[in-house]
Structure 1
Amino acid sequence: MLKKITIIGGYDKDGKKEEIKSFDVKAGEVFALIGPTGSGKTQLISDIQQYIDGETLTGRSILINDLPIEKLDFNKSLRHLVAEVSQNMNFVIDMCIEDFLLMHAQVRNIKDPRQVIKKVLKVTNELAGEPVYFTDNLTKLSGGQSRALMVADVALISDAPIVLIDEIE
């Protein structure tokens, strides 16, 4: 069970040592990272998602429950640890929304997947400016519709204890 993640600082894009040596995000906390364009927010999210261990350009590392990544079993500990909604959501898979959501719900062993995906579509339409329908093709969705769909999907289908959202609107 996830109790906390610790991010250990590395270097910024100019190769300077980061001012913050480390910080923790505990289970149940909401953590917001605020900074100007180009300050490294997206890179930090990418580092967390990749379960970094000092081998990226930033030199950052993360600990899960005070343990380094190499001490954890990927299949047991890390497989569904992180869900991400990136700032540039573009689907490349050629399928309709309903098939995509059903596939994701089945992979996550959701009971009564049809009921759950109806809720996902409802929440998507509450978040999106223009409505989407089960029959809509993923590749035809606007950026805002794609992000709304993925936020709803992560909230209602994913069981990941860490949710990373880059550039929430």
Structure 2
Amino acid sequence: MIRYAAIVWAFLLASMAFVCDAQPLRTVPSVDVNKYAGKWYEIASFPQRFQKGCHCTTAEYELCDRGYVIVHNRCRKDGPNGKVKEAWGKAFIQKNSGNAKLKVRFRWPFSGKYWIIDLADNYSYAVVSHPNKKYLWILSRSPQMSTDTYQAILARLEKKGFDLEKLRRTDQVCK
């Protein structure tokens, strides 16, 4: 019985240590959706099944007078000169989130959490994730990002507990 209690106690302590080490993901305090709207280039991401074979990936956000954001994602399949693949969706801003948490829906009724976790003061770059940290996109207003900016973003992501071994740069050399 004492041995069983010791095993349970050890398990509970290990579980508590895991919970204490797990850093909850935080978003930026606020986002001006008018400044955020427009075209973004994917600089790097955690590879996702729905983006397989994509090159020159972009996302465009347009405010809609119906209270949501129109999302238009594009990429070139299997190479920089490949066929254009497009996906259209809607993003709904979560109330009381400072506009930093959205739910994006490409196919009804399924939606995904889109959290803006890092954002340049001048809106030249943004970092987007999901609270489970399994999704990650580094976005820029231009197809290329300076090495210094990219490295600074990576340092902040590492402090937030992201596994940067999974991060892949996106080919943005397109015509």
TM-score by length of 2: 0.20
Higher helix share: 1
Higher-Rg structure is 2
TM-score by length of 1: 0.21
Higher strand share: 2
